[in-house]
């Protein structure tokens, strides 16, 4: 129990640190933030002053920090400079879109990657192993913008099975989920295969076999549970990456999402958007790591805080 | 065999009425799906100048006047007539009676005043690049349907700006949701009204019932023909074209040359091309940074690139339709005020070499010219590949070493502002030649200005000031012709190709036209074949 409390306290500390960094982010960029943000539009000095004021940049640094911390803690992330839309409102659209894509991609990765890893280790050196390895290597090597466009041309334009792009229907989620999920599926399969092979050589597996446990039970109960730890670590890291790093897939399939928000925010020098999204992504990452740690403790009762 | 005949007969019988129907002329109804290459920022013409936003909000908001693409003349829309004072500082508009905003409030002189004041309110931070920033003084409501706009000093492009950028929003609509939120809840007087906006996905509009104030330019009156218009936001070019092929969208913008070549001759699609007036795809040349401070170097670059070849290699498939042609002067040929006499540099590498030789740039052992210990290196930035690499290859053959940098647009601009690059691109699709003053007038050097050539030339300033204030069109045209010849003679900029709107539409789409800028569709007249 102390382990759980400690992990949660630790996560809270990380989030507080991120809050400070995000608040200072605007000062880390060289040049006058107000001028940078206006970029291409004709502006007057009065307008620049107005922008500084609206961002609170006219106050002393500690006051800015305190103000931002209170504001963020209240859940007020400010407004986008370009669209005038409240950031929380923007996130209300982007977050579900990103979550549904990441969950679908992860489901594909687990449902395909885990069986592929197990089968490849059980039938080591046979054609199943070769096929699973080929699937994994191709998924890891191909860039998602290429597979995405390939899927669109094949399954949407030629065969007409799915819409090319957009969101709003479950059918529109299939191609982006396959595109995004292929990489983690391959990675999971590879890691699980090698840790399975390692575990299968252990003595307790031999003992289980010797006392007459059926091979199926040996693989799924004795070996898999112990081989799963590195896969869980990788899986949660992958899931975190899917949440924030789906920018290419989001762009190719014209979906809303956190990745696109933050990249477009950076390109348009829309600081409040970047701050808000970075904060949300950081919180998600922290929660992901927390859940990994807790899952470890559940999978392996020996893991305790120390 | 006889079975095939029966099928054929059936097809003919069933198909005939449809043919008859399609010949029947404009049909009411249907949903047009139009794909955009980027997301609008806000659907608020007073505050936004972003192209995807403009494409959408041009359907929701009407302007006072409109430029006819056929003859470049200004025609009425929400204003029925207008006069300009002799000193060019006062514009009086007589407004059309009976116009209603989509929230039921009437459009009148007070609404015009509200719009102009709001556009020029510094606290709101407008991004309207083509508005009369610095010239606007005030608006005076004369009576309910007469409005007088006062400028601080004469500014001839005002009517042009009124035809494009000053679009009338409903003051009641702004009051209801506030200045910052209005862009997500737009209310105008246009032929289509706002339904919903799903961020980074789509904007949905529907026909405004009771619309009865279309410009005489359209040749018909009454509500729009389409029931609905859906703008889909699809940033990836291949996906946009895929969506067109799959029938999910009927119009797609910014088509790549490769996709265009593949689909332009497909009987299911039709190319639609809008030729853009204004500044072509020109590169500003920093005249204060070595080595482009040397006139001979700038002129050698003008003579040393084969624009015809560059246009054909980079944009070949577009040329059958007259788009992306070689550009030899500061304005594209379809611009009011374009001057053919200023096209003084034809491809002539021998002349380019001679100019450099005469200026003391001698060919070094590595093939690059040098003068003393200075190598002839030019930093050439852009935001897309294609032209930069071709220019690099061509200029290498005359002994200029071109360093290409490809970055996002803001970085490219920032580098040129800081003097880190010699050249950066400045295309500007505008219907008024005054766009040139934004690129080359000395008042636009530094801070947020776009005089990326760093030209401070009193002779040129005088021509631009005269052009901005001259009310007589014939004299005004002459002034810009002089300015183009002067600036090209000094090689202040390197025009390379025109930069036009290349789109594809399904053959089911009828009567889709672009406005005088070549980029903004008029969907009022558009209809769909059943």
What pLDDT is attached to residue A37?
62
Pairwise CA distance, residues B198 & B202, whole Å: 5
CA distance to partner chain B, nearest, from residue A254 (Å): 5
Task: Give me the residues paired with residue B273 across strands.
Answer: B502
SS (H, E, C) B90-117: EEEEEECCCCECCCCCECCHHHHHHHHH
CA distance to partner chain A, nearest, from residue B207 (Å): 23
Binary contact (A166, B42; C-beta < 8 A): no
Q: Are A40 and B50 in contact (CB under 8 A)?
A: no
User: Any chain A CB within 8 A of the CB of B384?
Assistant: no
DSSP code for B525: S
**Percent of chain B scoring above 90 in pLDDT:** 72
What pLDDT is attached to residue A29?
66
Residues on chain A touching B129 (C-beta within 8 angstroms): 40-42
Task: Return the minimum-mean-pLDDT range out of A282-291, B244-253, B296-305.
Answer: A282-291
Residues on chain A touching B125 (C-beta within 8 angstroms): 38, 41, 43, 47, 50-51, 81
More confident residue, A39 or B171: B171
CA distance to partner chain A, nearest, from residue B238 (Å): 7
Query: Which pairs from A168-171 meet CB under 8 Å and 24+ separation?
Result: A168/B198, A168/B201
- Mutation target vs A (from B38, B237, B448; most A CBs, 10 A cutoff): B448
DSSP code for B340: G
User: Any chain A CB within 8 A of the CB of B239?
Assistant: yes
Report CA torsion sign: B342, B345, B346, B351: positive
Angle at A248 between CA A246 and CA A252, to 5 degrees: 120
What pLDDT is attached to residue A197?
87
Binary contact (A267, B410; C-beta < 8 A): yes
Confidence class of residue B459 from pLDDT cuts 50, 70 and 90?
very high
DSSP code for B324: S
Q: Taking CA atoms, what residue in B is nearest to A54?
A: B123
CB pairs under 8 A between A and B: 135
Q: How do beta strands B251-252 and B362-363 pair?
A: unpaired
Identify the three-state secondary structure at position A190. helix
User: Any chain A CB within 8 A of the CB of B125?
Assistant: yes
Confidence class of residue B172 from pLDDT cuts 50, 70 and 90?
very high
What pLDDT is attached to residue B17?
45
Q: Average per-residue pLDDT in chain B? A: 90
Q: Read off the pLDDT of residues B41-67 as tens digits, 9 standing for 90 and up.
A: 899 999 887 889 999 999 999 999 999
Per-residue pLDDT of chain A (306 residues; tens, 9 = 90+): 677 788 888 888 888 888 888 877 777 766 666 766 665 555 566 667 777 777 777 777 788 778 877 888 787 888 887 888 889 888 888 888 998 999 999 999 999 999 999 889 888 889 989 999 999 999 889 888 899 999 999 999 999 999 998 887 889 999 999 999 999 999 999 999 988 888 888 888 888 888 888 888 888 877 888 888 888 888 888 888 888 768 889 989 999 988 888 888 887 778 888 888 888 888 888 888 888 888 777 777 776 654
Task: Give me the residues paired with residue B194 across strands.
Answer: B205
Residue B347 in tokens: 């491809």
What pLDDT is attached to residue A39?
56
CA distance to partner chain B, nearest, from residue A239 (Å): 23
Task: Return the minimum-mean-pLDDT range out of A49-63, B217-231, B376-390.
Answer: A49-63
Instruction: State yes or no: pLDDT of B1 exceeds 70.
Output: no
Residues on chain B touching A159 (C-beta within 8 angstroms): none
What pLDDT is attached to residue B133?
77
Binary contact (A256, B200; C-beta < 8 A): yes
DSSP code for B359: T
Binary contact (B248, A165; C-beta < 8 A): yes
Which residues does B401 contact at the CB level (< 8 Å), separation at least 6? B368, B375, B376, B377, B378, B395
Residues on chain B touching A269 (C-beta within 8 angstroms): 410
Q: Read off the pLDDT of residues B14-47 as tens digits, 9 standing for 90 and up.
A: 544 444 444 568 889 999 999 999 899 899 999 8
Give the pLDDT mean for B79-86. 94
**Candidate from B44, B242, B447 with C-beta closest to A156:** B242
What pLDDT is attached to residue A36?
64
User: Any chain A CB within 8 A of the CB of B411?
Assistant: no
Residue A294 in tokens: 């807790």
Residues on chain B touching A248 (C-beta within 8 angstroms): none
- Buried b / exposed e along B288-318 (16+ C-beta atoms within 10 A): ebebbebebbbbbbbbbbbbeebbbebbebb
Q: Taking CA atoms, what residue in A is nearest to B450?
A: A40
**Candidate from B42, B134, B233 with C-beta closest to A83:** B42
- Mutation target vs A (from B43, B51, B126, B200; most A CBs, 10 A cutoff): B200
What ipTM is given for this predicted complex? 0.81
Instruction: State yes or no: pLDDT of B240 exceeds 50.
Output: yes
What pLDDT is attached to residue A208?
83
Instruction: State yes or no: pLDDT of B115 exceeds 80.
Output: yes
Confidence class of residue B239 from pLDDT cuts 50, 70 and 90?
very high
Q: Are A258 and A98 in contact (CB under 8 A)?
A: yes
What pLDDT is attached to residue A43?
58
Binary contact (A165, B234; C-beta < 8 A): yes
DSSP code for B367: S
Nearest CA to B161 out of B175, B173, B171, B149 is that of B149
CA distance to partner chain B, nearest, from residue A270 (Å): 11
User: Any chain A CB within 8 A of the CB of B184?
Assistant: yes
Residues on chain B touching A251 (C-beta within 8 angstroms): 235-236
Binary contact (B42, A149; C-beta < 8 A): no
**Percent of chain B scoring above 70 in pLDDT:** 94
SS (H, E, C) A64-122: HHHHHHHHHHCCCCCECCCCCCEHHHHHHHHHHHHHHHHHHHHHHHHHHHHHHHHHHHH
Exposed/middle/buried for A47, CB within 10 Å: 0-12, 13-18, 19+? buried
**Residue B183: half-sphere exposure toward Cβ, Cα within 13 Å:** 28
DSSP code for B378: E
Task: Return the minimum-mean-pLDDT range out of A32-36, B239-243, B523-527.
Answer: A32-36
- Mutation target vs B (from A40, A42, A55, A260; most B CBs, 10 A cutoff): A42
CA distance to partner chain A, nearest, from residue B217 (Å): 31
More confident residue, A57 or B199: B199
Pairwise CA distance, residues B213 & B226, whole Å: 17
**Candidate from A43, A167, A267 with C-beta closest to B448:** A43
What pLDDT is attached to residue B470?
85
Task: Return the minimum-mean-pLDDT range out of A6-15, B65-74, B140-149, B246-255.
Answer: A6-15
CA distance to partner chain B, nearest, from residue A235 (Å): 28
Pairwise CA distance, residues B99 & B108, whole Å: 8
Give the pLDDT mean for B374-390. 93
Which residues does B262 contact at the CB level (< 8 Å), separation at least 6? none
Provide the chain B residues 437-466 that lie in CB contact (below 8 A) with chain A. Answer: 447-449
Residue B329 in tokens: 């002067």
DSSP code for A220: I
Report CA torsion sign: B354, B355, B358, B359: negative
CA distance to partner chain B, nearest, from residue A208 (Å): 54
Provide the chain B residues 342-381 that lie in CB contact (below 8 A) with chain A. Answer: none
Give the pLDDT mean for B170-184. 94
Identify the three-state secondary structure at position A22. helix
More confident residue, A161 or B414: A161
Binary contact (B234, A256; C-beta < 8 A): no
User: Any chain A CB within 8 A of the CB of B410?
Assistant: yes
What pLDDT is attached to residue B260?
92
Nearest CA to B378 out of B492, B301, B326 is that of B301
Binary contact (A50, B123; C-beta < 8 A): yes
What pLDDT is attached to residue B350?
95
Nearest CA to A118 out of A1, A44, A221, A213 is that of A221
């Amino acid at each position: 129990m102390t382990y759980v409390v400690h992990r949660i306290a630790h996560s809270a500390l990380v989030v507080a640190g991120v809050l400070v960094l995000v608040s200072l982010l605007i000062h880390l960029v060289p040049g006058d933030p107000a001028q940078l943000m206006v970029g291409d539009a004709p502006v007057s000095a009065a307008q620049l002053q107005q922008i500084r004021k609206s961002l609170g940049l006219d106050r002393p640094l500690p006051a800015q920090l305190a103000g931002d911390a209170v504001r963020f803690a209240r859940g007020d992330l400010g407004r986008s400079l370009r669209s005038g839309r409240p950031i929380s409102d923007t996130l209300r659209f982007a977050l579900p879109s990103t979550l549904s894509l990441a969950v679908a991609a992860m489901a594909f990765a687990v449902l395909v990657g885990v069986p592929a890893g197990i089968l490849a280790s059980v039938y080591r050196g046979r054609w199943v192993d070769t096929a699973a390895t080929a699937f994994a290597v191709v998924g890891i090597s191909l860039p998602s913008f290429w597979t995405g466009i390939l899927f669109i041309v094949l399954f949407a334009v030629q065969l007409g099975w799915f819409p090319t792009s957009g969101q709003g229907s479950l059918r529109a989620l299939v191609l982006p989920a396959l595109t995004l999920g292929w990489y983690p599926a391959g990675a999971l399969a590879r890691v699980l295969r090698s840790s399975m092979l390692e575990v299968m050589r252990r003595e307790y597996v031999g003992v289980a076999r010797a006392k007459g446990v059926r091979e199926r039970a040996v693989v799924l109960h004795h070996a898999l549970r112990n081989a799963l730890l590195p896969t869980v670590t990788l899986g949660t890291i992958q899931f975190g990456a899917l949440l924030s790093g789906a920018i290419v897939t989001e762009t190719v399939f014209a979906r809303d999402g956190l990745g696109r928000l933050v990249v477009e925010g950076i390109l348009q020098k829309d600081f409040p958007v970047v701050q808000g999204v970075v904060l949300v992504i950081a919180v998600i990452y922290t929660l992901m790591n927390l859940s990994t740690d807790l899952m470890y403790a559940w999978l392996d009762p020996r893991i305790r805080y120390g | 065999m006889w079975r095939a005949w029966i099928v054929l007969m059936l097809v003919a019988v069933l198909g005939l009425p449809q043919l008859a129907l399609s010949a029947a002329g404009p049909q009411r109804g249907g949903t047009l799906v139009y794909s955009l290459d980027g997301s609008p920022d806000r659907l608020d013409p007073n505050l936004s100048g972003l192209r995807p936003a403009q494409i959408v909000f041009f359907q929701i908001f009407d302007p006072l006047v409109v430029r006819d693409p056929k003859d470049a003349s200004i025609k009425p829309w929400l204003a029925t007539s207008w006069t300009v004072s002799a000193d060019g500082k006062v514009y009086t508009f007589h407004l059309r009676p009976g116009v209603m905003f989509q929230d039921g409030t009437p459009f009148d002189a007070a609404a015009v005043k509200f719009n102009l004041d709001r556009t020029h309110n510094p606290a709101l931070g407008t991004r309207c690049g083509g508005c009369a920033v610095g010239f606007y003084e005030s608006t005076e409501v004369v009576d309910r349907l007469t409005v007088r706009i006062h400028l601080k000093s004469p500014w001839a492009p005002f009517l042009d700006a009124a035809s494009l950028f000053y679009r009338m929003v409903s003051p009641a609509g702004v009051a209801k949701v506030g200045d910052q939120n209005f862009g997500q809840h737009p209310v105008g007087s246009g032929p289509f009204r706002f339904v919903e906006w799903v961020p980074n996905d789509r904007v949905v509009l529907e026909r405004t019932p009771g619309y009865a104030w279309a410009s005489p330019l359209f040749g018909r009156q009454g509500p729009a023909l389409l029931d609905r218009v859906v703008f889909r936001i699809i940033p990836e070019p291949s996906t946009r074209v895929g969506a067109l092929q799959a029938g999910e969208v009927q119009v797609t913008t910014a088509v790549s040359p490769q996709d265009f070549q593949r689909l332009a001759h497909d009987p299911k699609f039709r190319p639609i091309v809008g030729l853009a007036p204004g500044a072509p795809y020109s590169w500003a040349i920093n005249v204060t940074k070595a080595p482009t401070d040397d006139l001979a170097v700038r002129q050698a670059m003008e003579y040393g690139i084969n624009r015809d070849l560059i246009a054909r290699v980079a944009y070949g498939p577009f040329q059958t339709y007259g788009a992306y042609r070689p550009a030899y002067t500061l304005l594209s040929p379809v611009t009011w005020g374009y001057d053919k006499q200023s096209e003084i540099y034809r491809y002539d590498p021998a002349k380019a070499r001679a100019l450099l030789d005469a200026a003391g740039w001698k060919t070094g052992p590595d093939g690059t010219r040098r003068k003393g210990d200075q190598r002839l290196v030019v930093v050439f930035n852009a935001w897309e590949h294609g032209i930069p690499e071709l220019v690099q290859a061509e200029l290498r053959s005359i002994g200029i070493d071109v360093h290409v940098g490809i970055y996002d647009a803001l970085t490219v601009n920032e580098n040129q502002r800081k003097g880190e690059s010699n050249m950066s691109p400045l295309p500007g699709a505008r219907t008024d030649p005054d766009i040139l003053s934004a690129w080359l007038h000395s008042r636009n050097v530094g801070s947020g200005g776009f005089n990326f050539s760093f030209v401070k030339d009193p002779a040129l300033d005088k021509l631009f000031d005269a052009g901005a204030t001259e009310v007589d069109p014939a004299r005004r045209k002459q002034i810009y012709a002089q300015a183009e010849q002067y600036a090209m003679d000094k090689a202040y900029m390197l025009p390379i190709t025109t930069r036009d709107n290349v789109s594809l539409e399904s053959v089911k789409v009828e009567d889709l036209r672009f406005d005088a800028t070549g980029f903004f569709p008029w969907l009022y007249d558009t209809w769909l074949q059943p």
